[in-house]
Amino acid sequence: MERPCAAIHGLIWEEDEMRRHRGTISKALLLIAWLGVSATQGCVQGSSRGAGTAAPGSDAQGVTTEEVRSLRQAAEGGDARAQYSLGMMCYWGEGVPKDPAEAARWFRKAAEQGNPNAQYNLGVMYHLGKGVPKNAEEAVRWFRKAAEQGNADAQAFLGAAYATGDGVPKDPVEAARWFRKAAEQGDPKAQYNLGVMYHLGDGVPKDAAEAVRWTRKAAEQGVAEAQRNLGAAYAKGDGVSKDPAEAVRWTRKAAEQGFAPAQCNLGVAYADGVGVSKDAAEAVRWFRKAGEQGDADAQYALGAMYANGDGVVASPSAAADWYYRAGQSYLRAGQREEALKAYDAIVAIAPDHFLARRLRAEIYGEAAQP
């Protein structure tokens, strides 16, 4: 079954394929629908100065009042680098009061003189609506200016804009072109996104080996989504030789970063003994981590574990609670059929359980019976 997964960084998110058999934990480890295109949520780039110890007459960040005065004088005199630095200081409240609108004003002055970092930052501020009105088209306009000067962050953002149609008409080919430019500069999110596009054949020819190549680059830089996808590739043998142990190794890296889909997958591996020694208690531990973050499949799996006394002391009440939570999570994701399966699982424990009645009411929009 298909399920959307909570986003961490991006504009488009994954749909995973997970096969679940009612009342059992026999799920496919591979979740190979892969994560979708992402970009950073927007982080203003750079720093006005390096970190240091505060000097006499300075603020807590180590910027002296004389430095601020000199920088402002240079900025007002038209120095683009000073304008950019002053924008950073206003944005972070470093040496001056924190003021996003004032930051945007100085970024604009530097950006209009062609400073690529200022152009990128101004794009971020329009993207977020911080210090300026939120405006996707204006964000894209400034990202493009910075991207054309080689700014990798702007290139990645421009790729995401074309991938999603945010501020520009949706264009997968153009998205892939900009992701590639950023990826070739080592941007990990762009590498990840380019891997997704090769996996899907979206904007580029479908190519599993090329998908793995870019996904690995991102995974090696610590992108949890890429680590999870690389694990999925090894689990299936998609673009690489099938290797369950390697699948678990990459899945674990993502799981240890707190990424719920990977935590659920790792639970599956321990439950089924695929790539690791079978260990029901360890499966429960990872399912719980994912379930507590709202992962519906992990919640369903925990319900089954408690119902069967697998890795935990059997507890019908705990099983019903986790099935109910799974049902709610499926409903939030628009997966009514999966929510009905969770309802059926509660009914199998106790036909007239109050959580079964409550979940049924939520599924059908009825008033819950006491």
Q: Please name each of the domains of the chain with its CATH number.
A: 1-33+258-370 (1.25.40)
**CB of 210 closer than 8 Å to CB of 200:** no
Element (H, E) at 15: strand 15-17
Q: Tell me the helices (H) and strands (E) count for the chain, helix number first.
A: 17, 2
Question: Mean pLDDT for each 10-residue chunk of the chain (370 residues)?
Answer: 29 27 25 38 53 35 83 96 95 94 97 97 96 97 98 96 96 98 97 96 97 97 96 95 97 98 96 96 98 97 97 97 98 96 96 94 75
The neighbouring-strand residues paired with 17 are 2
3-state secondary structure of 324: helix
pLDDT for the residue numbered 64: 86
**CB of 260 closer than 8 Å to CB of 225:** no
User: Residue 218's closest CA among 11, 34, 17, 6?
Assistant: 34
Residue 203, both tokens = 């904007």
Residue 274's φ and ψ, nearest 5 degrees, are: -110, 110
pLDDT for the residue numbered 5: 32
User: Residue 13's closest CA among 212, 235, 181, 261?
Assistant: 261
- Alpha-helical (H) ranges within 148-259 are 152-164, 172-184, 188-200, 208-220, 224-236, 244-255
